[in-house]
Structure 1
Amino acid sequence: MMTRLLLIAAVLLAAVPTRAQEVTGLSDWSIFLDPGHSQNENVGYSGYSEARKVLQVGLALRDMLEERTDIGAVYMSRTNDQQSVSLSQRTAAANASGADYFHSIHSNAAGPTTNYAFVLWAQLSNGNEPNPPYAGGRSMAEILGANFGEGMRIPTPNGGAYGECDFYGASSCGSGVKGSRNYVQRNSLMPSTLSEAGFHTSTTQNPRNMNADWKVLEAQAMFWGILEYNGLERTPDRIATGIISDAENEIPVNGATITIAGESYTTDTFESLFSQYASDPDLLHNGFYYLPMLPAGTHDVTVTAPGYRPASGTITMLEGEFTFYDVELLSNIPPVVTSSDPEDGQDPFRLTSLLTLEFSRPMDRSATEAAFSLVPSAGGSAVNGTFSWHDDDTRMVFRPEAPLNERTEYVLTLAGSASGAAGDPLDGDADGTGGDDYAITFTTSFLDTTPPGITAARPGINAQNVELRPLITLEFSEPILPETVEGRVRLLPSAGGTAVPGTVQYRTVGEKSAISFFPSESLAPNTTYVTVVSPGLEDHFGNVQTVD
């Protein structure tokens, strides 16, 4: 058994130089790769850590350099998730290796929507690069930063490259021959850079980071960058990659299969990947695919996914750069009503409230409005009114032109002729088949005979030490006709004098309403003011406020 293992090892070692001749010109150059952190440190969104991600990027980059070039050597500070390596151990190993270059691989952290990439180069407090033999990081940073922007398709501020002192501030600069704030840059005795490729706290980026081939994409961008840094041409790789997403809500699609030139790739699913990081099967999506080593030329593309219409097109492969082909799939699941106000069976429902229907997909406005009806269940004329649309046509609001009848049961119906924006008929009973009606009943409240009244005020009555430019808000017991608000709210000194100039804003807040006054100049200090509401505010039932 021992002899057999040795023979296999000998065969593998003999095969490596053959592939390594694909790129020549690096035989007298070496690099030390430092995947930042250790084990499972710096956990990001949904539990996937920076340490685990950057290790796989580093290993993929090492394999590319060793298998495809004649590089002198590739060293690494760690090669598995069990090792725990300190900063001093990293730089000590790098310096002992005698490598010509040092690169530390990282991702960044911030809020859930922040995501960009950049590369830091070692910088002295005077703003310059270190003197030889430590110079060279700036050129590498500029190349890698641009490549990250190209490959990851995320912002790269400042062209993707910063001197460390510029980035962190001059006061953060370290001393010594390389300056810099980061320990590994300051103490590695060769040209160096540190990359922050995206944010592992991003709800968009970290699901991509979880994908094994996304890490290969990042490594590929760095591989090309290292070749360029050394004055070599990029390898003429033909790589198709992109994101498959839902055309209506832009959410990446899980389980989509794309086929190009006979090669297929299925995007990650809860079962294949995301169950490792979430218990909710609908939480994580990336829609990412990566097809390397495709033949030259133009090829047909087909994309399929459960619950979506098939898509097709063509792609022409580029060489030495990523060929991006994003796909938007259109759902073939009929739209359903996901919520209503009023709810089915609600009693009471305010006579003047707006009626709202929310849908699972964007709707065709004309077809849906034509399919809508609201009638008393005991019979009678349909209620007339106007429609408005919100949230990318997934929410329809109906405003009756007059208050509904008091203590009356109504039937709201949306016929099966209503359709989504893509033409799919409404699935009224949510059984998976479109073309049937949606209907609910509700009962209205008693008629309102009370005019609107103030229920709360901010600042409060007789409030002290109020700021000189306050926001004054009066809350009312019910909605008010907006046209009756204008000119009726003023702010006056209690001792008499001119009204304070300002603007008035009215808004409905659920079953209530609010009027806010914004002074356009500061109030006089140590002065008492009074907010005056003149008679005339009217609710939707014709009840008019008659006193100040």
Structure 2
Amino acid sequence: MKKMKKLLFLILISRAVFAQDLFGTKIYLNPGHGGFDSNDRNIPETGFWESTSNLDKGLALRNILQQINATVYMSRVANTSADDLPLSQIVSDANSKNVDFFHAIHSNAFNGQSNYTLLLFQGKDNAPTYPDALTMANFVSNEIYNANRTTAKYSRGDFDFYGTGQAYLGVFKNLNVPGTLSEGSFHDYLPESWRLMNSSYKKHEAWAIARGFLKYFLRPGFQTGIIAGLVRDMNKTVSYYGITSKGDNKLPLNNIKVTVEPGGKTYNGDGNNNGFFLFDSLAAGSYKLYYEAPGYYKDSSTVTVTANTTSFADKFLLYDTTVVVKIVSYSPSSPTDSVKTISPVSIRFDLPMDTASTNAAFHLTPATQGVITWSDGNKYFTFKPSLPYLKAAEYMVTLSKTAKTIWGIELAGELSFKFLTKNRNRYLLEKTYPEANSSINLGYPQIRLQFEAPVSTASLGGQINLYDRSGTRLSVINVKIFSENGKGLIYFESRDQLWDQMSPLSVQLGGKIADIDSIPMVDSVVIPFSVSYDQAIPITIFDNFETQVGWKDPSASPHSTGIDTSTSHFSITTERKFLGSKSGKLFYTFTNSANGSCFIPNETKIQTNADAGAWVFGDLSNNHINLWFEDSTTTEFSVFYDSLDWVGWKFIRNRGEVPNKNLKKLIGIEVKQAVTGNKNGLIYIDNLQTFDGLTGIQQNEDLTVTNFNLDQNYPNPFNPETQISYQLPENSFVTLKIFDVLGNEVAILVNEFQQAGKHNYKLGIRNYELSSGVYFYQLRAGNFLQTKKMVVLK
């Protein structure tokens, strides 16, 4: 009998609450969007998705309307792509169900600083397609405006709002009944976006729309009321934009607890930075609320509830200055798993700390220099080492109990923890081109740096510089930063040519260069190098590689062997050029470990009766580059020109013997795979030409000698031999000597009387046991004395 009385009592209460019967009324709800698709809208800062929010409001509204006996249909009750139906299908579904009213649920977005309520219907502002739609729009806009406490409310026809003068919103097109679309608030306004992450806040908007339906269908309002509000910190502000007049600049509190009496109901808030609470279905009358939040003084307030309205009971709480601070978390938190040698030490407190006492209470052993920073209102402590920790070392962190809150309350006890560091605390530079203290024989080198791991581009600002001998910083171009096979690579070139008779240059690297794990180099690095330059004096440029006339792909030649024809190609490109606007580009891939040949045939068979050379942008592959010729008997032969042991623009000339020198045709260019060469590479070729000689070596025997002169040796640097040329305008006694950098005489090359004219001396390092380094050679002839510098490379 007692159970029957209790059940009867609940039924009577239910009927009293929902006496506003909508029996026989059919309503169609359309929660907009669906399935996190491209037309959905997301706010990354809060995790908000409009499709989820609209559905939550729709489901809450359906439950409220069904409890007052309305028949409710929904376009979707889940949130997948399949639920995001075409608008025409939604309209057709609503028409087929012969509903009395259609309502679509959305939220709005603009510039992150607006937050008004907008209701839309079909038609002009003052001439709706269905007049009842305007009536409903006014009811609902007013209710949502009051519930969400937005800045303004508008009811607009889509003809005028979108400026089309005709039907615009697809959700209204061909709809047979009045319909409205609510944009309850702005989800890109961050205070509102956080509130829309609270399920009770969305339910509150559903209550507002339900009140609008009761007014529209001429039913009395709900006989119960609602208490809602926001709990915030009186003294702290948010880091994002908030409308001051709405109090949205004040910090909402997480994990609040609000209790209402009589009734003993408790609302436990979420951690979504909104501070919102809600008590619905309350009988009219007076209530007392009790507010709590972690670390804050408790407070209370008295509220009067009126039927069919929301009574707001916002509360600002103050910190409880007597509470002992708690340590929420710290890191590195594992004593067994090793951490990076640049990992910061962090400690999070649940209350704001006095930074001076906390900094003094912090100790790290072994002692380490570093920088302490605070964030999150002095609740988050971070120590960042100035230099990486020791490798594979154990560190002890201690925070003594003398660390205090801003109200002077000490820790309950000392905090201590250990961590181990990884066996790596420096970012290593593995290779450079040029190498330190080397001399390279090209005026347009590409500088290459190879690090042990991928480089952090964010660490490079002002850390890599190229200087000339006077200390002037040179401008660089064609900078390329990338990773390959786990290595960090940086390539760049000087904007201007670098040759200046072995002028010293340097690449200087700052110690702040770091890998993607933020491990820095620490120590600065200086890479000194010098540059010499063979500059051809062209007689005839017979191909400037501005077009591909005559040149074919490697696959077209029988001389090409052991290559991947799908990736080995020759083309004309604007990627690089020595002169003009284009150059020839050869990408090659060898399929075997040695003896491959990537041959670019030239069908025109260019006639050349003098030495031929070309500008080549090398690839450091150590493969060989050869030129192929055909003599007057149509015999084909190759001539070795150089090893591809450089990167940058270099003029190459024959290094081998050329049979029938004056009777030959150029028929192709070949990259020959060396045993120690790379299996793939990329070179550029420009200005194929005949030449008279190289600056520093006057080779025209027919010129009349009028002055004493000592030429620059060629090649320089050299190994195993070089040529020294000089001119005598008269018969003279000549000495030609070599000295080391200390001035010690190393060798006497010439010591005899010689006739006037041009003289050449071929110097081999094996004959004089010259080691790697810088030497000076000196010519004395009568009263003439001249000295030049040369470099031996091994």
Change (3 A) 1:333 1:193: farther
- Report 1:312-461 matches (<5 A): 312-317=299-304, 320-326=309-315, 334-336=325-327, 338-341=329-332, 344=335, 350=341, 353=342, 355-359=344-348, 361=350, 363-364=352-353, 365-376=355-366, 385-399=370-384, 410-419=395-404, 426=411, 434-440=412-418, 442=420
Which residue in 2 is equivalent to 1:311?
298
Contact 1:117 1:197 in 2 (8 A): yes
Alpha-carbon distance between aligned partners in 2 of 1:417 and 1:130, rounded to the nearest angstrom: 73
Question: How far has the Cα of 1:144 moved from its partner?
Answer: 2.3
What are the ranges of 5 or more consecutive residues in structure 1 without an aligned counterpart?
22-26, 67-73, 271-281, 377-381, 427-433, 457-472, 502-511, 518-526
Question: How far has the Cα of 1:152 moved from its partner?
Answer: 3.0
Please state whether the residue corresponding to 1:369 is helix, strand or coil. helix
Cα deviation 1:171-196 (Å, max 9, x = unaligned): 9x54xxxx75214x64234x432335
Alpha-carbon distance between aligned partners in 2 of 1:57 and 1:516, rounded to the nearest angstrom: 62
- Report 1:131-150 matches (<5 A): 134-138=130-134, 140-150=136-146
Question: How far has the Cα of 1:386 moved from its partner?
Answer: 3.8
Please state whether the residue corresponding to 1:289 is helix, strand or coil. strand
Greater share of helix = 1
Cα deviation 1:39-58 (Å, max 9, x = unaligned): xx869979979567525414
- Matching residue's letter, 1:361: D
Alpha-carbon distance between aligned partners in 2 of 1:18 and 1:541, rounded to the nearest angstrom: 73
Question: How far has the Cα of 1:242 moved from its partner?
Answer: 2.5
Say which of 165, 181, 188 aligns to 1:194. 181
Change (3 A) 1:347 1:193: closer
Alpha-carbon distance between aligned partners in 1 of 2:163 and 2:357, rounded to the nearest angstrom: 59
Which residue in 2 is equivalent to 1:535?
508
Which residue in 2 is equivalent to 1:122?
121
Task: Indicate whether 1:33 and 2:22 are aligned.
Answer: no
Please state whether the residue corresponding to 2:527 is helix, strand or coil. coil
Which residue in 1 is equivalent to 2:147?
151
Change (3 A) 1:42 1:302: same
- Matching residue's letter, 1:289: L
Change (3 A) 1:476 1:251: farther
Alpha-carbon distance between aligned partners in 2 of 1:363 and 1:513, rounded to the nearest angstrom: 42
Alpha-carbon distance between aligned partners in 2 of 1:92 and 1:264, rounded to the nearest angstrom: 47
Question: How far has the Cα of 1:253 moved from its partner?
Answer: 2.2
Which residue in 2 is equivalent to 1:431?
none
Alpha-carbon distance between aligned partners in 1 of 2:451 and 2:151, rounded to the nearest angstrom: 44
Cα deviation 1:74-98 (Å, max 9, x = unaligned): 765579989x996445335547xxx
Name the Cα RMSD after superposition: 6.6
Please state whether the residue corresponding to 1:546 is helix, strand or coil. strand
Contact 1:243 1:286 in 2 (8 A): yes
- Report 1:3-152 matches (<5 A): 33-36=27-30, 53-61=57-65, 76-77=72-73, 87-88=91-92, 90-91=94-95, 94=98, 102-107=101-106, 119-124=118-123, 127-128=124-125, 130=127, 134-138=130-134, 140-152=136-148
Change (3 A) 1:486 1:316: same
Question: How far has the Cα of 1:142 moved from its partner?
Answer: 4.7
Which residue in 1 is equivalent to 2:171?
182
Alpha-carbon distance between aligned partners in 2 of 1:345 and 1:78, rounded to the nearest angstrom: 55
Change (3 A) 1:360 1:203: farther
Which residue in 2 is equivalent to 1:253?
255
Question: How far has the Cα of 1:372 moved from its partner?
Answer: 0.5
Question: How far has the Cα of 1:368 moved from its partner?
Answer: 1.9
Alpha-carbon distance between aligned partners in 2 of 1:17 and 1:46, rounded to the nearest angstrom: 31
Alpha-carbon distance between aligned partners in 1 of 2:464 and 2:319, rounded to the nearest angstrom: 51
Cα deviation 1:441-475 (Å, max 9, x = unaligned): 55697997x9978999xxxxxxxxxxxxxxxx998
Please state whether the residue corresponding to 2:131 is helix, strand or coil. coil
Please state whether the residue corresponding to 2:299 is helix, strand or coil. strand
Please state whether the residue corresponding to 2:402 is helix, strand or coil. coil
Alpha-carbon distance between aligned partners in 1 of 2:460 and 2:53, rounded to the nearest angstrom: 58
Which residue in 1 is equivalent to 2:265?
265
Query: Which structure carries more relative contact order (alpha carbon 8 Å, separation 6+)?
Result: 1
Alpha-carbon distance between aligned partners in 2 of 1:139 and 1:413, rounded to the nearest angstrom: 68
Larger Rg: 2
What are the ranges of 5 or more consecutive residues in structure 2 without an aligned counterpart?
37-47, 79-84, 237-250, 434-448, 478-486, 499-504, 513-519, 529-794
- Matching residue's letter, 1:411: M
Change (3 A) 1:304 1:92: same
Question: How far has the Cα of 1:241 moved from its partner?
Answer: 0.7
Which residue in 2 is equivalent to 1:467?
none
Please state whether the residue corresponding to 1:416 is helix, strand or coil. coil
Question: How far has the Cα of 1:294 moved from its partner?
Answer: 6.3
TM-score (norm 2): 0.40
Aligned residues: 430
Contact 2:30 2:76 in 1 (8 A): no
Alpha-carbon distance between aligned partners in 1 of 2:310 and 2:453, rounded to the nearest angstrom: 64
Change (3 A) 1:149 1:500: farther
- Matching residue's letter, 1:60: I
Counting aligned pairs with the same residue, the percent is: 16
Question: How far has the Cα of 1:370 moved from its partner?
Answer: 1.9
Please state whether the residue corresponding to 2:170 is helix, strand or coil. coil
Cα deviation 1:305-340 (Å, max 9, x = unaligned): 7x6666213245486554142566979785336342
Say which of 229, 246, 267 aligns to 1:242. 229
Change (3 A) 1:295 1:330: farther
Change (3 A) 1:391 1:537: same
Greater share of strand = 2
Alpha-carbon distance between aligned partners in 2 of 1:444 and 1:80, rounded to the nearest angstrom: 53
Change (3 A) 1:335 1:514: farther
Contact 2:370 2:386 in 1 (8 A): yes
Please state whether the residue corresponding to 2:208 is helix, strand or coil. helix
